[in-house]
Amino acid sequence: MAAADLARAEVLAGQALAAAPLSPLAHFAKGQVLRVQRRFDEALPERETALASNRNWVSALQAVADCKRYTGSIEDTIPLVERAIRLSPRDPDLGIWYCQIGMVHLLQSRTDEAVVWLERARSAVPEHRPLHPWLASAYALRGETERAAAELAEARRLFGDNRYSSIARLRTIGSFGVPKVRALYETTYFAGLRLAGVPEE
């Protein structure tokens, strides 16, 4: 998102909250802006306020789950996403939710489960760019080097911005959350990407 657009969105979300401080949609919008700004600790309560208004609001469920991953409550992520899936089993975002579950499994060193969910995501939304580097990492950690290399090549093709040219570059542009979660990235996701062929520098 362009900086000017993001600044405008921040102003509009603030105006909406000022005009209707009890509006769940205004809180949800504010949470979305804060999330894009990578202000996860601030985004989480806004998203939780939106969810409290309707516990069956699947977009709010997924949004809270997303923030939980970054703020350190990673163990809460999968149950929230699974609840969204139960509530909306034909949702157009289903494949993205599968990917989110796969990511969390990998971060928690459950590599086989990660592959299952990431492959489900690929079947649902093969064009979803984030799933390919995560599959590359997971397959590499399982010793499946050819599959890992193919997924890494697809990730590089789809992103097209050299972010997977090195681990160092990826660190500068990625969002990895609090230190506890960044440490999980180091021991799982980054470790797998190295094995898949991403150099350190």
Q: What are phi and psi of 143, to 5 degrees?
A: 85, 10
Q: Topology of domain 92-201, per CATH?
A: 1.25.40
Q: What is the pLDDT of residues 107-144, one digit of tens each?
A: 999 999 999 999 999 999 999 999 999 999 999 999 99
Average pLDDT over residues 37-61: 95
Q: What is the pLDDT of residues 64-120, one digit of tens each?
A: 999 999 999 999 999 999 999 999 999 999 999 999 999 999 999 999 999 999 999
Per CATH, the architecture of 1-88 is what?
Answer: Alpha Horseshoe (1.25)
Torsion-angle region of residue 177: left (phi > 0), alpha (psi -120 to 50) or beta? left
Instruction: Give the Cα separation of 150 and 185 in Å (integer).
Output: 21
Q: Which residue has the tokens 């599968």?
A: 98
Q: Which residue has the tokens 């993001």?
A: 6
The pTM of the full predicted model, rounded to 2 decimals, is: 0.92
Q: Indicate the DSSP class of residue 178.
A: S
Q: Which pLDDT does position 1 carry in this prediction?
A: 59
Contacts of 81 (CB under 8 A, 6+ apart): 61, 62, 65, 97, 100, 101
Per domain, the residue ranges of the chain are: 1-88, 92-201
Does this chain's domain 1-88 share its CATH topology with 92-201? Answer: yes
Tell me the residue length of the chain.
201
**Angle between the N-to-C axes of helices 40-53 and 24-36, in degrees from 0 to 180, rounded to the nearest 10:** 160
For residue 3, name the pLDDT band (cuts at 50, 70, 90). confident
